Amino acid sequence: MEPSENIQVDFDLAAELAPFVIGGSAYACFQCGACVAECPTAAHVEGFSPRKVVLQILLGDRESFESEDALVWKCSSCFTCLERCPQGVRPGELIAAVRNWLVKKALVPKQLADIYNAVRKEGRTVPRSSAIDRRRKELGLPVVPDAPVDELKSLLPQLDRGKKEKK
Amino acid sequence: MIRKAFFLGCMIPLKYPQIEAAVRLTMPRLDVELVDLEGFTCCPDPIFFKSVDQFAWLTVAARNLTVAESAGLDIATACSGCTTTLAEALHLLKTRPDLVKEVNSRLASIGRSFAGATNVRHLATILRDEVGLDRITAAVKTKIDGVKVAVHYGCHLLKPSEVAMVDDPDFPELQEKLVAAVGAEPVRYPHALKCCGKGCIDRTVPAAMAVEIVESAKAGGADALCLVCPSCFDSFELVQATGKVKKEKQLPVLSYFQLLGLAMGFSGEQLGFQFHRVPVPPGLGSVRGKR
C-alpha cells in the first residue's frame, strides 16, 4: 500500500468532543450499520449515514463536520438509531454533541440560532401574533401568559453566529 | 379526579390553539383537571435548541420541572416534543448526579433547585393509564363509527423508549387503542412510524418525508390522519397546504383530542376546524375549512 493511502487518524477530535457528549460513546461502535437501515434522513439525503458520522468521529475527520451545511445538520433527531444500535453508541446523541461543538466554533445554521435566541428573549420558540390571539379569543381560550424572561436571560448567554452568513 | 400541571409549550398555544381548545373541552369530561401554573417557558425544544447547547437545554428543562415541583404536581403535556425534553431531562437528572450538580449550580443564580419531585406524561398516555379506555368510551356521545383514521405516532412519544416508557417503539398500540375507544376505525399503513421530517434542517427533505406519510396513509384507505404531536400536525398541514400533495390524495389532519372532542359531541367550530388548512369534511362533523 502506498503511504499516501494510509488513513490519517486525528485522535484529538474525540477528546475535543468529549465535554459535549451527554449520552452514548463512539468507541463502542463496530460499524454494523443497524442504525442506517431505518434512518429517515439516510433515505432522503445522499451521503448521510449515522454510521458514517460515528466513523468520522473516530477517525477525527474534522473537515466533514466543519461547515454550516455539513451533513451532520440534516439528522431529524427521530432517535430511531438509538433504538437500533446493539452497542449503546446512541448515534443521534453523538450528533447532538458534534453540533454543540460546531456551535462553539460559531458554525451554527441560522434556523438554530434564531430558535435559541427566541427562547432566550421571549421564552418561547413561536412569537405571539395578533392572528393567533384572535383565534384564541374565538375559541374561548385565555390569553397566553408572558414567560419569565428575566430568569432565562440569566441562565442563557447570547448566541452569536460567525461571519459566514448564508442567505 | 386526576390533577396535573398543564404544560402547554409553544406550538400549541401560539400556532395551533385549536389543539389546546380540544384538550380544555375534553379533559374535564374525563375528570382530568389541568392546572395552569405561572412560570413555564419553552420546554426547550428537543432538536434545535438542544443542538445549540445540551447543557443549556437541560438547565431550562430542569427549571420548568422545578415550577411543577413547587406546586406539588406532576406534568401533563399535549406535545411529544415537550414530553421528550422534560422526560429525558428528568431521566438524566435522576440517574446522573454529576448533571444534577451542574444544573443546580446554574439554577442557583435564579434561586431555584431541582429536587426530582415531579413526573412527566403525555396526555395520550395519561388517557390510557390513568383515565382508562372504558371511561373514554363511556364519554362518547356522538357516533363516529366507520371513520377510518390513520394514526401517526411521531418519533418522540415513543423514543428513546427507555426514557418514554410508553409503548413498544416498533409495535405500538397506544394510539390505535385510543382511536378505537371513541368508535373510529384505526387504519394501519406502511409509514405509520416514520418521522414527519420537522426536525431535519434542509430546504426540501422535510416536505419529502411528510408527503410520503400522507400518501401512504391515503393509500391505506384512511379518511383522516390522527396524531398527538403539534410538530407532526404542522408538517402535514403545511405540506398539503403548499400543494405538495395532489388534491385527490390529501387527508385532513386531526389532533387526537379533536377526534375525542367530536365523539363527545363538540362541534367542529368549537374544536377549531375552521382554522385547518386541509378542510375537514362534514362527515367528520366539520365546518368548512378556511385559511
Interface of A with B in 62-101 (CB under 8 A): 73-80, 82-83, 96-97, 99-100
The DSSP code for B120 is: E
pLDDT at A2 over 60: no
Q: In which band, very low, low, confident or very high, does the pLDDT at A5 lie, cut at 50, 70 and 90?
A: confident
> CB–CB of B49 and A151 under 8 A?
no
Put simply, whether B53 touches A (Cβ < 8 Å) is yes
Interface of B with A in 86-145 (CB under 8 A): 92, 99, 106-107, 109-110, 112
**Residues A131-135: what's their mean pLDDT?**
97
Put simply, whether A106 touches B (Cβ < 8 Å) is no
Q: In which band, very low, low, confident or very high, does the pLDDT at A166 lie, cut at 50, 70 and 90?
A: very low
Interface test with B, best of A20, A35, A125 (most B CBs within 10 A): A125
Helix (H) or strand (E) holding B151, with range, is: strand B148-152
CB B111, CB B153: distance < 8 Å = no
Q: In which band, very low, low, confident or very high, does the pLDDT at A162 lie, cut at 50, 70 and 90?
A: low
CA distance B250 to B218: 7
pLDDT digits (tens, 9 = 90+) for A74-86: 999 999 999 999 9
Q: In which band, very low, low, confident or very high, does the pLDDT at B290 lie, cut at 50, 70 and 90?
A: very low
Above pLDDT 70, what percent of chain B?
A: 98
The whole-chain average pLDDT of chain B stands at 95
pLDDT digits (tens, 9 = 90+) for B228-269: 999 999 999 999 999 999 999 999 999 999 999 999 999 999
CB B254, CB B225: distance < 8 Å = yes
> CB–CB of B199 and A145 under 8 A?
no
Distances (CA, A) of A110 to A27, A159, B14: 31, 11, 21
Domain ranges within chain A, ordered by starting residue:
3-104, 110-155
Above pLDDT 70, what percent of chain A?
A: 94
A148 → chain B, closest CA residue: B39
Largest CA distance in chain B: 56
Put simply, whether A47 touches B (Cβ < 8 Å) is no
CA distance B48 to A108: 10
Interface test with A, best of B6, B7, B8, B10 (most A CBs within 10 A): B10
Residue spans of alpha helices (H) in chain B: 11-14, 17-26, 48-52, 54-71, 80-95, 97-107, 123-126, 133-138, 161-164, 174-181, 205-219, 230-241, 256-263
Pick from B153, B88, B231, B204: nearest CA to A74: B204
Which of B14, B156, B270 comes nearest A124 by C-beta? B14
pLDDT at A8 over 50: yes
CA distance B37 to B231: 23
Which of B45, B58, B206 comes nearest A125 by C-beta? B45
**Residues B215-240: what's their mean pLDDT?**
97
CB atoms within 10 A of CB B283: 11
- Tell me the Cα Rg of chain A: 20
For residue B71, what is its C-alpha cell? Answer: 406546586
Question: What is the per-residue pLDDT for A1?
Answer: 46
Question: What is the per-residue pLDDT for A78?
Answer: 97
A102 → chain B, closest CA residue: B52
Question: What is the per-residue pLDDT for A6?
Answer: 78
Question: What is the per-residue pLDDT for B174?
Answer: 98
Residues of B in contact with A140 (CB under 8 A): 21
Residues in CB range of B159: below 8 A, 6 or more apart: A78, A79, A80, A82, A83, B84, B169
Question: What is the per-residue pLDDT for A69?
Answer: 83
CB atoms within 10 A of CB B104: 17
Which of A103, A135, A155 comes nearest B63 by C-beta? A155
CB B47, CB A157: distance < 8 Å = no
Question: What is the per-residue pLDDT for B50?
Answer: 97
Interface of B with A in 59-88 (CB under 8 A): 59-60, 63
Q: What's the complex ipTM?
A: 0.94
**Residues A43-57: what's their mean pLDDT?**
97
pLDDT digits (tens, 9 = 90+) for B62-119: 999 999 999 999 999 999 999 999 999 999 999 999 999 999 999 999 999 999 999 9
The CATH superfamily label for domain A3-104 reads: Alpha-helical ferredoxin (1.10.1060.10)
Above pLDDT 90, what percent of chain B?
A: 94
Interface test with A, best of B12, B14, B92, B231 (most A CBs within 10 A): B14
Residues of A in contact with B14 (CB under 8 A): 124, 126-129, 132, 144
Q: Which residue has the cell 403545511?
A: B238
Put simply, whether A152 touches B (Cβ < 8 Å) is yes
Question: What is the per-residue pLDDT for A7?
Answer: 80
Question: What is the per-residue pLDDT for B111?
Answer: 97
Range with the poorest average pLDDT among A3-7, A112-116, B45-49, B100-104: A3-7
CA distance A41 to B139: 41
**Residues B119-138: what's their mean pLDDT?**
98
pLDDT at B35 over 70: yes
What torsion, rounded to 10 degrees, do the Cα atoms B136, B23, B5, B76 define? 60
Q: For the purposes of burial, counting CB atoms within 10 Å of the CB of B3, is it exposed (0-12), middle (13-18) or buried (19 or more)? A: middle
Residues of B in contact with A129 (CB under 8 A): 14
Q: In which band, very low, low, confident or very high, does the pLDDT at B279 lie, cut at 50, 70 and 90?
A: very high
> CB–CB of B155 and A80 under 8 A?
yes
**Is the omega angle on the peptide bond into residue A142 within 30 degrees of 0, that is, cis?**
no
What is the distance in angstroms between the Cα of A124 and the nearest Cα belonging to chain B?
Answer: 5
Sorted by where each starts, the structural domains of chain B and their CATH numbers stand as: 2-123 (1.20.1050.140), 141-284 (3.40.50.11810)
Question: What is the per-residue pLDDT for A167?
Answer: 37
Question: What is the per-residue pLDDT for B285?
Answer: 56
CA distance B28 to B43: 24
Q: Residue A97: what residue type? A: A
Interface of A with B in 14-43 (CB under 8 A): 20, 22-23, 40-41
Question: What is the per-residue pLDDT for B39?
Answer: 97
* Total beta-carbon pairs less than 8 A apart between chain A and chain B: 169
